[in-house]
């Protein structure tokens, strides 16, 4: 193990040597296995899901799969604030052999491959050696909203809750790579977590970023979200944060960073997690042959109405509050607009505080509706001028859904 | 110069920076974490050869709810899924059991 100069900031040293009350609660099992259920309006079903409180560090979550865990954030959580609470943040694992005990004093990440020197770091080494940075960013599963694809496709049948927004604290991957000394000719940086397949010789999850992307100063190794340590289920003690990119690249329990001199051809880069090569649509026809596929990459804009919810009754003939969240994807939110005529005309909304271009952005408006049923559509335009489409995309992986969303309400 | 001047200069230097904002708050104390993961012990319904094979070869990697939460998929799609589990994800499914499992899944999770 490498040794490093003492931490320059004694206050920061105290901060992590000090015992923080409250964090201990994260390791406790939440008591009770409530038999509550929730309906996800997935076309053709099945749309009943159990709400579970049986997972460490998590309150009520939508149980998509018990082992390995797929836990979805109930959509009402997104109405409660711009940052998603850690104990409601969605969970997605690929392989079932997940470490259930980690001591941050001994868990190390290794950096190896096409570098001048191999290095190992505990989370405390990272804290001491590198400058701390913080960024607000949306973490969204590539397959968020897969359950709405028609025709339906196999995979995790998520509603819209396989996403969350957090303030991530950690260090720049660039600084860590610089410490190891990236050699000329490096092309990619491959990340692997501490989870493993339960069967021998199955392909472990490994994801790679282009070397320039890995060194852009935004990609981070984060040990905190919203000022709290990550729960094990979200990648304790640290995970990769790739602002503006789909969560498949946000390696949890980061254990190994390999600098590659050749492009990564492992299964999880190709053919898994590939989209039709027409970003931002990621669109093709079911059964279409000969479509060029590329690794999924940058997020596309999305927006949601969090209140009122579909089916709600609202007051007729007087201004009614409508609110929600949006994100621009790989850049900020320029505008969020509402439509009452299926997208022919659009009504501006007022944007909430800007927490940075990769964050959720809250918005609100007031609509005066005559008596009767109304469909309210919402559309985000990002800072690059990219708008959500009015028609859904389709691809066999169920990736990158970002069609204009709508709720139907009854004004009475 | 009064000390407060230096304090302000130091503060401004701390705030300055590019890219992600330099973290203003101290890092949280990181303590060892433990968890117990629910096993997901439910089995696939039925006692026929298809249910037996599916219970024998699928549950070692994932719980049954993953399958039960899938939409209705065609027999062709289920066969492709089972082959992917065997060939890519290395589930130790004997070749003759692949169609048995795929037929069972198409029966319980196929078009009505």
- Spell out the domains of chain B, with CATH numbers in brackets: 53-109 (1.10.760.10)
Interface test with A, best of B17, B31, B73, B112 (most A CBs within 10 A): B31
- Structure ipTM over 0.90, yes or no: no
Over residues B8-36, the mean pLDDT reads 63
- One-letter-per-residue 3-state SS of chain B: CCHHHHHHHHHHHHHCCCCCEECCCCCCCCCCEECCCCCCCCCCCCCCHHHHHHHHHCCCCCCCHHHHCCCCCCHHHHHHHHHHHHHCCCCCCCCCHHHHHHHHHHHHHCCC
Residue A19: the pLDDT is 28
**Res A262 pLDDT > 50:** yes
Query: Is the backbone of residue B106 left (phi > 0), alpha (psi -120 to 50) or beta?
Result: alpha
The residue among A340, A342, A386, A389 whose CA lies nearest residue A366 is A340
Q: Please write the tens of the pLDDT for every residue from A187-209.
A: 999 999 999 999 989 999 999 99
- Give the rounded percent of residues in chain A with a pLDDT score beyond 70: 92
What is the pTM assigned to this prediction? 0.89
Interface test with B, best of A67, A93, A151, A199 (most B CBs within 10 A): A67
Asked if the A302-411 domain carries CATH number 2.60.40.650, the reply is: yes
Contact between chains at B65 and A202 (C-beta distance less than 8 A): no
Query: Could you tell me the pLDDT band of residue B58, with boundaries at 50, 70 and 90?
Result: very high
**Res A385 pLDDT > 50:** yes
CA–CA separation, A23 vs A345, rounded Å? 49
Distances in Å between the Cα of A243 and the Cα atoms of A20, A100, A334 are 28, 27, 18
State the average pLDDT for chain A. Answer: 92
By C-alpha distance, the chain B residue nearest A148 is: B71
The hierarchical CATH code for the domain A109-138+162-295 is: 3.90.420.10
By C-alpha distance, the chain A residue nearest B57 is: A199
Give the start-to-end residue ranges of the domains of chain A.
Answer: 109-138+162-295, 302-411
């Amino acid at each position: 193990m490498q040794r490093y100069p003492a931490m320059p900031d004694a206050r920061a040293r105290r901060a992590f040597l000090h015992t923080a009350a409250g964090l201990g609660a994260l390791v406790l099992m939440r008591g009770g296995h409530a038999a509550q259920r929730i309906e996800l309006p997935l076309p053709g079903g099945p749309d009943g899901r159990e709400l579970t409180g049986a997972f460490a560090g998590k309150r009520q979550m939508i149980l998509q799969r018990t082992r390995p865990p797929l836990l979805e954030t109930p959509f009402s959580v997104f109405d409660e604030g711009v940052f998603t609470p850690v104990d409601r943040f969605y969970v997605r694992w690929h392989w079932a052999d997940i470490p259930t005990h980690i001591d941050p004093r001994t868990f190390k990440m290794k950096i190896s491959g096409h570098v001048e020197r191999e290095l190992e770091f505990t989370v405390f080494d990272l804290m001491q050696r590198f400058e701390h940075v913080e960024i607000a960013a949306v973490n969204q599963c590539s397959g968020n909203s897969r359950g709405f694809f028609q025709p339906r496709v196999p995979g995790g049948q998520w509603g819209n809750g396989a996403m969350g927004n957090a303030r991530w604290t950690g260090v720049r991957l660039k600084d860590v790579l610089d410490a190891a000394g990236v050699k000329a000719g490096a092309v990619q940086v491959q990340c692997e977590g501490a989870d493993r397949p339960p069967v021998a010789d199955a392909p472990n999850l490994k994801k790679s970023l282009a070397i320039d992307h890995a060194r852009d100063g935004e990609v981070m190794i984060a040990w905190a979200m919203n000022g709290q340590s990550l729960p094990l289920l979200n990648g304790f003690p640290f995970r990769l944060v790739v602002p503006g990119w789909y969560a498949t690249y946000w390696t949890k329990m980061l254990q190994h960073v390999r600098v590659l001199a050749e492009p990564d051809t492992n299964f999880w880069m190709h053919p898994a997690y590939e989209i039709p090569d027409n970003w931002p649509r990621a669109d093709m026809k079911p059964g279409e042959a000969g479509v060029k596929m590329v690794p999924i990459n940058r997020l596309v804009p999305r927006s949601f109405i969090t209140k009122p919810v579909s089916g709600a009754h609202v007051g007729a003939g007087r201004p009614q509050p409508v609110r929600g969240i949006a994100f621009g994807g790989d850049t900020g939110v320029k505008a969020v607009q509402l439509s009452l005529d299926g997208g022919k005309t659009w009504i501006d909304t007022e944007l909430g505080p800007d927490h940075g271009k990769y964050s959720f952005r809250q918005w609100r408006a007031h609509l005066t509706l005559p008596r009767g049923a109304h469909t309210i559509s919402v559309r985000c335009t990002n800072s690059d001028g990219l708008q959500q489409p009015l028609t859904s995309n389709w691809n066999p992986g169920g990736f990158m859904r970002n069609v204009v969303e709508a709720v139907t309400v009854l004004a009475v | 110069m009064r000390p407060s001047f230096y304090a302000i200069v130091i503060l401004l230097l701390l705030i300055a920076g590019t890219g992600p904002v330099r973290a203003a708050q101290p890092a949280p104390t990181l303590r060892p974490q433990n968890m117990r993961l629910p096993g997901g012990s439910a089995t696939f319904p039925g006692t026929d050869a298809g249910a037996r094979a599916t219970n024998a070869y699928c549950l070692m990697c994932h719980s049954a709810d993953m399958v039960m939460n899938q939409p209705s998929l065609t027999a062709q799609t289920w066969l492709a899924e089972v082959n992917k589990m065997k060939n890519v994800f290395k589930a130790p499914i004997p070749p003759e059991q692949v169609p048995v499992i795929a037929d069972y899944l198409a029966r319980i999770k196929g078009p009505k």
